[in-house]
Structure 1
């Protein structure tokens, strides 16, 4: 899933739970569960990790991160009856796994290998068996999901 989608899910969790620790944990668990849904990034990841073509992946991730920042800023400025800390913690938990993967890609740390295996166990759970969908369809679907989620807040 995109960082934006994970952040929107985290925002709904933070709003619903209201507790920073629970929000962070539930947000992180949601990341793994939602990532199981095929979401069109297999070719992008293959080009990045196997073929070492970084431009597409870096561009996609940068645009996604900027949109996620705008979504987070928008949600954090809403007059909603929940703790800013709970909201922030749930969003942080929901995007943390991708941050750790990025850190591993950058450093190749042997201490993060277990986490990479765990992440991609969930990430590739269905797409390896049944195939992935086209990235364009995935982006449209996720945009709709983000809008629907933000309307829940």
Structure 2
């Protein structure tokens, strides 16, 4: 699932939370059910890690572009006054992104540093199990996944 969608869903559930801490928690928890649905981008990271070099750079550029798009969309939401509780929405957004940020730590250690000692390996395994549970049996082509994620993003924005 693209970061833009995780951030938007996190902001939405954060906005609905009764406290800042629950906004962060709800955003964090919103990440996992979204990752369970087939979304067409699973092979991108696998391909980048397997081939290395320019594939990894391309993957990182895509992640950064996704983050910038998400930041732009959410900045527009803040600027247009879409949030009644902007601080809660911000914390929910942060919570929605946190699982992917946490997973980056063991991924870096395992795939870039080739380390045997990996911090947060248990979280990496949990996240991958959750992320691949349905996708392993049924994944979508990348184009279909992008359309599906775009439609889900529009739905989230409509709910605001």
Q: Report the TM-score when normalising by structure 2.
A: 0.86
**Distance (Å, rounded) in 1 between the aligned partners of 2:83 and 2:96:** 21
**Structure 1 residues 81, 117: closer, same or farther in 2, change over 3 A?**
closer
> Which deviations, in whole Å up to 9, do the C-alpha atoms of 1:42-100 show, x marking residues without a partner?
22122123332313322321221111110121122232463222111100000111111
Where do 4+ consecutive residues of structure 1 move more than 4 Å? none
> TM-score, normalising length from structure 1?
0.89
Deviations 1:79-127 (A, max 9, x none): 2463222111100000111111223333446122111111101000111
- Quick one: structure 1 residues 62 and 77, their matched pair in 2 at CA, closer, same or farther if it must change by over 3 Å? same
Aligned residues: 152
By relative contact order (CA 8 Å, sep 6+), the higher-ranking structure is: 1
**Contact in 2 for aligned 1:37/1:126 (Cα 8 Å):** yes
What are the within-5 Å matches in structure 2 for residues 34-113 of structure 1? 34-52=34-52, 53-80=55-82, 82-108=84-110, 110-113=118-121
Could you list the runs of 5+ residues in structure 2 that have no partner in the other structure? 111-116
Report the secondary structure of 1:131's partner residue.
Answer: coil
* RMSD over equivalenced CA pairs, Å: 1.7
Q: Could you tell me which runs of 5 or more consecutive residues in structure 1 were left unpaired when the two chains were aligned.
A: none
Contact 1:11 1:75 in 2 (8 A): no
Supply the distance in 2 between the matched residues of 1:67 and 1:147 (Cα, whole angstroms). 14
**Counterpart-to-counterpart distance in 2, 1:33 and 1:76:** 25
| Counterpart check, 1:149 vs 2:149 | no
